[in-house]
Amino acid sequence: MRQILGESLPIKNLISMIHKVSGNKTNILVIGDSGTGKELVARMIHESGPMKGKAFIPVNCGAIPETLIESEMFGHKKGSFTGAISDKIGLFEAGSGGTLFLDEVGELPLSMQVKMLRALQEKTIRRVGANEDIKVDVRIIAATNRDLEAGVKAGTFREDLYYRLNVILIKTPSLRERHGDVEILANAFLKKFAERQKKELDGFSDEVLEIFRTHHWPGNVRELENTVERAVTLETGRIINVGVLPPAVVVNYDGGARSKLESLSINVGQQKLAAISPGPPGQGSSKEIRLPLPDFKDGPMNLDEVLAEVEKQYLKHALSFTGGVKKKAADLLGMTFRSIRYRLGKLGMEVVEVDQDDTKPSS
């Protein structure tokens, strides 16, 4: 099994929590940003406890069409609906004795939440179209990167189910909360991908390590892992250098060799909105944005990718400033409400919806 790597305090706390809870069958809710290891934590809880060797069944609650979800979870009798050509057991039965990992649990439709609550409370399920209940003995670990409490307030997530799942809450720390671990993880991924690709690599250049330490890693460990895999694939020397990093990772870096690059500033309207200039990161005025110019000696880059990343970070920043209120974030960014909504959709950014005007459930 894959290990949870890291030596930072948040990771040590996480591992000790996993050991505390793995011995019994209490329901657990794992929350954390995308790519922080929620599924890995769930697997480790499963593997470290009495369910080891039994089924671990991951279910992405957001990926099953609403019309099929009940039959997926609980099974069905032959002929109970069009397409039910034979009896079928559901995931609760398949996972009996083991762990059911309900990923993206915040995406469960309300109708299913009621049935799920019943299954958890009574420890019985009923196949679609059947008349009798079946006992099930399965541990539930649920995960979400959404704010379920906000979902409860907004009426999209049942409060009773929330408390049922949330007997024990485990939060996976984001990578930027544990910068000391970045190098440990990067080295482990380097070793893994170098072996897999049969490449001889000695490590990362100092500049790359500096970028890894200062990048904010919105995609967390998954982003780091993908970054290292890409770098191992593209690197032709023995040391991973900055040229094989994706632009989105390099975009905020303005130190090292890059600070010697030509500077550029952009004036928009009356305000100096962007200054792309040499110097260490984070020292510009609040109206200044420091971006390194690409060093084309490192190879081609993708401007659209960079601009999309900049757009994403600005949207995220504005939304976190306004507590998720899109209308106010749109005002801060000088755009209309329609425009911010369009951009968030286009960039696939999930937002916990708190705006009065567009999020009241219609029913």
Assigned token pair, 113: 């939440």
- Binding positions for Mg ion, 14-43, rule CB under 5 A: 39
Residue 56, by phi and psi: left (phi above 0), alpha (psi -120 to 50) or beta? beta
Q: Which of 36, 99, 113, 174 binds ligand ATP (CB under 6 A)?
A: 36
Which residue, 39 or 183, has its beta carbon nearer to Mg ion? 39
Contacts of 26 (CB under 8 A, 6+ apart): 139, 167, 168
Q: What letter would DSSP give residue 103?
A: E
Residue selected from 70, 72, 107, 225 as contacting ligand ATP according to rule CB under 6 A = 225
Q: Do 108 and 116 touch, CB atoms closer than 8 A?
A: yes
In the bound state with ligand ATP, the residue whose beta carbon lies nearer, of 172 and 252, is 172
Site residues (CB under 6 A) for ligand ATP, limited to 142-201: 145, 172, 185
Q: What DSSP element (H or E) covers 266?
A: strand 264-268
| Pick 39 or 210: Cβ nearer ligand ATP | 39
Closest distance to ligand ATP from the beta carbon of 349 (Å):
13
CB neighbours (10 Å) of residue 85? Answer: 8
- Residue nearest Mg ion, CB atom distance: 39
Q: Which three-class secondary structure state does DSSP give residue 104?
A: coil
The Cα 273–Cα 266 span in angstroms is 7
Report the number of secondary-structure helices (H) and strands (E) in the chain. Answer: 15, 13
Round to whole Å and give the CA distance between 299 and 19.
46
Q: Which does 32 bind (CB under 5 to 8 A by kind): ligand ATP, Mg ion, none?
A: ligand ATP
Q: Does 114 bind ligand ATP (CB under 6 A)?
A: no
Based on the shown chain and the rule CB under 6 A, indicate whether residue 5 belongs to the binding site for ligand ATP: yes
Structure tokens, 280: 């260490």
Smallest gap from residue 67 Cβ to ligand ATP (A): 24
Give the span between the Cα atoms of 27 and 138, in whole angstroms. 10
Interaction of residue 222 with ligand ATP, rule CB under 6 A: yes
Q: Which is nearer to Mg ion, 60 or 124 (CB)?
A: 60
The DSSP letter of residue 29 is E
Query: What is the size of the binding site for ligand ATP (CB under 6 A)?
Result: 18
- Give, as ranges, the residues between 38 and 57 that touch Mg ion (CB under 5 A): 39
At 245, is the secondary structure helix, strand, or coil? coil
Binding mask 62-101 for ligand ATP (x = CB under 6 A): ----------------------------------------
Select from 3-11, 113-121, 287-295, 298-306 the region that touches ligand ATP (CB under 6 A).
Answer: 3-11
Q: Does 40 bind ligand ATP (CB under 6 A)?
A: yes
CB of 84 to ligand ATP, least distance (A): 30
CA–CA dist 54, 101 (Å, integer): 13
Task: Report how far apart the first and last C-alpha atoms of the chain are (Å, whole number).
Answer: 45
Chain positions contacting ligand ATP, by CB under 6 A: 2, 4-6, 32, 34-40, 145, 172, 185, 221-222, 225
Chain positions contacting Mg ion, by CB under 5 A: 39
